[in-house]
A and B are shown apart, each in its own frame.
Chain A
Amino acid sequence: MAKFHVTTTVNGEEVEFLCDAQDSMLDVLRGPLGLTGSKEGCGSGDCGACSITVDGRLVCSCLMLAAEAQGHSIGTIEGMAQGDRLHPLQEKFIELAALQCGICTPGFLVAAKALLDRNTNPTETEVRYWLAGNLCRCTGYDKIIRAVMDVAADMRKGVAA
């Protein structure tokens, strides 16, 4: 069986790759595309460490076939900082030490950004439910929730972009 030739957009840039039918988007991101920020925790859509956006919609890249990316726009953790300028969520995670081993962090950041892109005034309950699909096995949830709430407040004040 010939490989599939896929043309897609990753973090705003047009990208081409070859894949097999059963390759997941995560396989291709971490392999041929060399974007290893998205992590594989479970491979079954439970942990959220592989979170990306597809046309702005938050999804698990382990639950998407790479061939499905044809013609769509993919956003990964690598597209979150603007050059050397970290996204406010990234800065706040560092400031509040909202990470321990760091494996879950890219997924949490991508998921949190997807929330704040839609709603800059979430309640703590809304943040916790939105991030329920991201697991932190160091169990550092509180600082993560605090960081997201703080950035949301900064965005409302116009401090964070």
Chain B
Amino acid sequence: MSDIRYVAAESLDEAVKAMLAAGGQGKILAGGTDLLVQMRSGAQNPGTIVDVKKIDEVMQIVELPDGGFRIGAAVSGAVIGEHRKLAAAWPGVVEAVNLIGSKQVQGRASAGGNLCNSSPAADSVPALVAAGAKVVIQGPNGRREVPVEAFPTGPGRNCLAPGELVVSLTLPPRPPGSGDAYLRLIPRTEMDIAVVGVGVSLTLKDGVCTAARVGLGAVAPTVLLVEDAAKALIGSKLDDAALEKAAAACSAACKPINDKRGTIAYRTKIAGVLLKRATAIAARRATSNVPGGMH
């Protein structure tokens, strides 16, 4: 017999109440690909598990009237990867989500869960930061929104207050000529944790970069928004000088750990390399994403 409670909440209100009733011992269950592993290892011992997968809003991808998207927090990577319109508008976000784990893990793991697990190396988060995604949070005091980059506060920690849970992630409308990309470095070709991850989202007009955001993962206690890298790209034609400057800004933003996956020097160098490569992919996508077709 166990003392753990399992609640399959039918509504956000019910989920919030169950989390409050758990008095700090509650854990939200979305795909469970982090939570169940942590429970088995003893890293998490929840008193109440609140399953949110019966709540429609948490399980849907919705195209918004303004052209943006709302991705329910517990929508699996497999479902996200099959959403053609989302993948066409935000290929970098979708490829980042789909890099998490195996096909089996993709069958359950969600972008909301990846964010709430709050690993500095979470693959989807740099891409969401680059995309300018907002986190929709429901709690005892109603609803609030925070930018993705403000959500994690440290390794395994985030800004959720007692009783709060993530409902969805919203992606803004996409101007013509926009593209995004996510690249990570891992020691093998699949099924590993990022040593460095870089997300880039940008907009090009007549070959000039008019908007850019850069997200950087696995090189600091939280995923970073690197504004200096974006500034180096904006206004340029993504020439070598601009790319070098943006790469240097990424390297300068790094505060990595030394571990078996990569040294401080290696991670710092690779952050710049991946910035250049991800920018090139995002730019190519932006160029093919102009009404009227390829140039």
Contact = CB atoms under 8 A, between A and B. Distances in A.
Interface of A: 1, 3-4, 20-22, 24, 43-46, 48, 51, 54, 57-60, 62-65, 67-68, 70, 111, 114-115, 129-134
Given A43-B40, A133-B101, 4 more contacts: A22-B4, A24-B36, A64-B108, A65-B51
Given A111-B103, A132-B191, A133-B191, A20 B32 contact: no
Contact of A20 (B1, B37, B51): B1
Contacts of B9: none
Contacts of A46: 191
Interface string B1-22: 1111110100000000000000
Contacts of A132: 102-103, 190-191
B97 interface: no
A21 B46 CA distance: 11
Nearest to A128: B190
Interface in B98-141: 101-105, 107-108
Nearest to A132: B190
Nearest to A53: B107
B53 interface: yes
B76 interface: yes
Contact of A59 (B1, B2, B5, B108): B108
Nearest to A19: B6
A59 B107 contact: yes
Interface string B157-184: 0000000000000000000000000000
B6 A21 contact: yes
Contact of B104 (A4, A51, A68): A51
B41 to A, nearest CB: 8
Contacts of B280: none
Interface of B: 1-6, 8, 29, 31-33, 36-37, 39-41, 49, 51, 53, 76, 78, 101-105, 107-108, 190-191
Contact of A67 (B6, B37, B103): B6
5 contacts: A44-B40, A44-B41, A58-B78, A68-B29, A133-B191
A45 B76 contact: no
A70 B8 CA distance: 10
A11 to B, nearest CB: 18
A62 B6 contact: no
Contacts of A45: 33, 36-37, 101-102, 104-105
Contacts of B33: 45, 60, 63
A20 B78 CA distance: 28
Contact of A4 (B6, B32, B36, B78): B6
A54 B8 contact: no
B222 to A, nearest CB: 24
Contact of B102 (A4, A24, A133): A133
B108 to A, nearest CB: 5
Contacts of B76: 57
B50 to A, nearest CB: 11
B29 A65 contact: yes
Nearest to A68: B51
The 10 A-B pairs with the shortest beta carbon distances in the complex, nearest first, are A133-B102, A21-B6, A59-B107, A21-B4, A132-B190, A20-B2, A57-B107, A60-B104, A133-B104, A44-B37
A134 B103 CA distance: 9
Contacts of B190: 129, 132
Contact of B103 (A3, A63, A130): A130
B100 to A, nearest CB: 11
Contacts of A68: 8, 29, 32, 51, 53
Given A65-B29, A132-B102, A1 B1 contact: yes
Contacts of A24: 36
